[in-house]
Structure 1
Amino acid sequence: MKILLTGSSGQLGSECKKVLKDDYEIISPNKEELDITSWDKVIMSIDQLSPDIILNCAALTNVDECEKEKKLAERINVEGPRNLAQGAARYDKIIVHISSDLIFNGRKRLPQPYFEDDPTSPLSCYGLTKMESEMAVKQNTPHYIIIRAGWIYGVRGDSFLKQILQLAMKKDQKSIYVVNDQIGSPTWSYRLAQQIKVLIDNRKEGVYHATSEGYCSKYEWAKYFLEKMEITIPVLPCASEEYPTPAIRPLNSILENRQLKLEGLNIMPYWQKDLDIFIDKYGKRLLKGEEESH
């Protein structure tokens, strides 16, 4: 089977390419070769390439940048998936679309998680575009998998862990303050790619949550990471209001993989276990500022 993969150079897309390439033929055009915001180019590409599955990992994922570039975020995060969904429907293909925990407002009482059928109410432009992208997919094709994830980290691209590491490595940095009132489930991009493969392998359709088991605050996440990296710098808790950002983040980003578990397909381990494996594999490379080559 043939998969058309968009966003293959990104944090998740690169892992999907790695995980899927042994069992599927992967076509992974770059942004210049396939502009998903162009309906004509999307339709032409699907017609010429004839994929069985369209896996959309392309997105403007910098949450704060989306607040400043709202039109660009709308084009990439909503118009792009809409075009891909329309192309999938025209040629009777299935689309796999990646969504986000940020479609929820985070006001559910902790530690209650969000389920697949909970109402959405995003706080940020990014969250709004991901909510609208889900609607665009559902309204334009009958065959889809929508996968919601959050707090994704990996060896490629920018991530919370890399930002923490860069701060900790600064020469005159005496301590780091990290918000302790935002709660979620750190999720390794490689493991998420494996979970996506499970859904594709089993020819599933529908909406799924896919995050690591367990939860923590960003403060706890940063502290655990730096301790495992053997970097000794004080990590101190602070409130979100003490660290204002252009985009408002939900306080509760815990997603429950209920549908995966009901179908016996959940492979996501506890977040600490995966983070330990990630550090064992990539810790030295992260300290050198290197990314994995493909």
Structure 2
Amino acid sequence: MEDKGKNMDLRRMLVTGSTGFLGSRIVREYGKCFQVSGPGHSEMDLCDEASVKAYVDRVRPEVVIHCGAVSDTGWCQEHPEESRRINVDGTGYLARACAEIGAKLIFCSSDQIYFGSRGMEAHREDEAVSPAGEYGRQKLEAEKRCMELCPDSVCLRLCWMYDRERLSEREHGNFLTAFLEALSKKREMVYPVYDYRGITDVNLVVEKLCQTFSLPGGVYNFGSENEYNTYETVRRLLEGLGYSTEKLKKNETAFAGNPRNIRIHMGKAEKFGIEFPKTLEQLLSANERLL
């Protein structure tokens, strides 16, 4: 990322969900080279179109990174109308406001859009999808709102993300922190064998976000590819780090009747020079940092 920290005329960036797992890291990194605004609910209510428009008109950002969402998939499933107001309607309000001032909108979508798709191949952006979960359905509809209301929007289908560092006490554990804790305490690890998904270092996502600011409008997979199921990923990780797999157990119940495959194919983004290491490669390359 270009260092513009000494430039007094910094570009303006708005980050929604700025206290969340991804948003907080974006604010920390891009605050070095942008004037970053991270409005709280009292400053900009995503459920209120007038509030969204007023805030965007006042701040007039050049780049908007929309991380704000109800991301608890279980809660979305149980409260579809309430979560839809934020995940779909709020995204539409923001897209319209961005279009009116010419801001570049980067929408953080999800690989959950592929949950329910048939086949075991890695998914591409142009395939027909019919998400099985409410969260995935909402993200898909939000993408459509972005493209209809602000055609220059870039919608990024993000994977499961991890980081060793916790930026706040409120932050939940993630794949890496759970793995390292089980390893250090010699606890049993149980991972599903019928679950296929990419797992991505959030710091790489943040680092490569700047490359999306110049992308043509559209939908892009954005994260690490992974050829293995979650159990096999962890097994190979343990072996690669020189640990016994004795404590590693298979969960053969989850998704047994219909394996979940939400793996992404990165070919489209790679044509624009955006590349991520594969899931296992990245975890193994971080050997010294992990331990």
Q: What's the TM-score, normalizing by structure 1?
A: 0.82
Corresponding residue pairs, total: 274
3-state SS of 1:51 partner = coil
Correspondence for 1:186 among 170, 185, 199:
199
User: Which amino acid is the alignment partner of residue 47 of structure 1?
Assistant: D
3-state SS of 2:44 partner = coil
- Would you say the 8 A contact 2:195–2:255 is kept in 1? no
Deviation at 1:160, TM superposition (A): 3.5
Task: Map 1:47-196; keep pairs closer than 5 Å.
Answer: 47-110=57-120, 112-154=121-163, 155-156=165-166, 157-158=171-172, 159-164=174-179, 175-196=188-209
3-state SS of 2:105 partner = strand
Task: Quote the RMSD (CA, aligned, Å).
Answer: 2.8
User: Which amino acid is the alignment partner of residue 103 of structure 2?
Assistant: K
Greater CA deviation, 146-155 or 158-167?
A: 158-167
- Would you say the 8 A contact 1:116–1:258 is kept in 2? no
Correspondence for 1:266 among 274, 277, 280:
274
- Would you say the 8 A contact 2:112–2:131 is kept in 1? yes
Deviation at 1:62, TM superposition (A): 1.8
Residues in 2 aligned to 1:271 and 1:95: alpha-carbon distance in whole angstroms: 27
Segments of structure 1 that go 5 or more residues without pairing to the other structure are: 285-294
Deviation at 1:231, TM superposition (A): 8.7
State the Cα deviation string for residues 2-51 of structure 1 (Å, max 9, x = none): 11111122121122223323332211122332222221111110111011
Residues in 2 aligned to 1:276 and 1:134: alpha-carbon distance in whole angstroms: 33
Residues in 2 aligned to 1:72 and 1:243: alpha-carbon distance in whole angstroms: 31
> Where does residue 214 of structure 1 map in the other structure?
226
3-state SS of 1:60 partner = coil
User: Which amino acid is the alignment partner of residue 138 of structure 2?
Assistant: T
Deviation at 1:233, TM superposition (A): 6.0
- Would you say the 8 A contact 2:98–2:105 is kept in 1? yes
State the Cα deviation string for residues 232-270 of structure 1 (Å, max 9, x = none): 7611112244899xxxx961111111211222x222112
Identity %: 23
Q: What's the TM-score, normalizing by structure 2?
A: 0.82
Residues in 2 aligned to 1:261 and 1:55: alpha-carbon distance in whole angstroms: 21
CA distance 1:166–1:132, shift in 2 (3 Å)? farther
3-state SS of 1:72 partner = helix
